[in-house]
Chains A and B, each alone.
Chain A
């Protein structure tokens, strides 16, 4: 797991975010085992106390669960997993809309541009 951290944001939130992204794109499957806190700290090169905090928060949000003496796993709650994807999309769209609104672009022009850029980007990648 290679994550580029922003030095100004809380690291534990950035860890949670990277998990959410992996859940949203299906890289992490429902019920899949995740690394132990120490393994995660080692892979991401973060303080183990921070990794612990990220896991605790994710457990509270119900994103992961831990049965006694077993590694933690991604939740199997499909509804919650769907929400994660939605949440990430909405967040991105909100940021986009806020920044583009200040330029006063007509919606039709904007949608056209978005469509062009978005599909164009896919082709580039392919």
Chain B
């Protein structure tokens, strides 16, 4: 489980996170929802230790982040971070050299799943295919937790469908996933838990199926209630 407890973060004088708390379980997909600028990416960065926090704590399986935990958690940023001149194959080799958790078998499977060609250069890829490669590089790691920043933004509907399919497959199963998004529409049925954020705080944390069962509300219904007050 990833636990974020009362985390505060300032950039200069601007306070981005104002005491954020939520948890994300293993074997579940947790979706952080909020408009641009509420601090979704900052949280992911904070969980990965990429940015220091001013207050609060973040625990992964009950422990504070240590260097060796990077074998157990990975972050897929919203844009691919490989050198543009590399081919997909070279990027995979690069990952294999750096991470002991790299699983080549799974990488090959993902390559086929997304119908990508490993001799293509990263710089020559369409936006949708670059996003798929980005996802491939992260999901091919044998880690318990995967953080994804806006995996669906700016991607055409067919690529979105393909990416969404990954979420229902064994490639994700049993892992703890946190994704951020500002559009939930086509992934409503894929997510277990929803964390709504506004202005650096969590406004609501709920289980998507519970909201449907107990209140007859879709995720979007709940969002409307929370945001349009």
Q: Which A residues form the contact surface with B (CB < 8 A)?
A: 5, 7-13, 38, 41-42, 44-50, 53
Contacts and interface: CB of A to CB of B under 8 A. Distances in A.
B124 to A, nearest CB: 30
B128 interface: no
Contacts of A11: 189, 209, 212
Q: Which 7 A-B pairs have the closest CB atoms?
A: A7-B218, A10-B213, A41-B168, A46-B189, A42-B168, A10-B212, A8-B218
11 contacts: A9-B212, A10-B212, A11-B189, A11-B209, A42-B169, A47-B168, A47-B189, A47-B190, A48-B173, A49-B27, A53-B209
Contacts, number: 55
Contacts of A38: 168-170, 173
A45 B190 contact: yes
Interface of B: 27-29, 164-165, 167-170, 173, 188-192, 209, 212-213, 216-221
Given A9-B216, A48-B173, 5 more contacts: A7-B188, A8-B212, A8-B216, A38-B169, A48-B168
A9 B212 CA distance: 5
A47 B213 CA distance: 15
Contact of A45 (B27, B29, B168, B209): B168
A49 B193 CA distance: 11
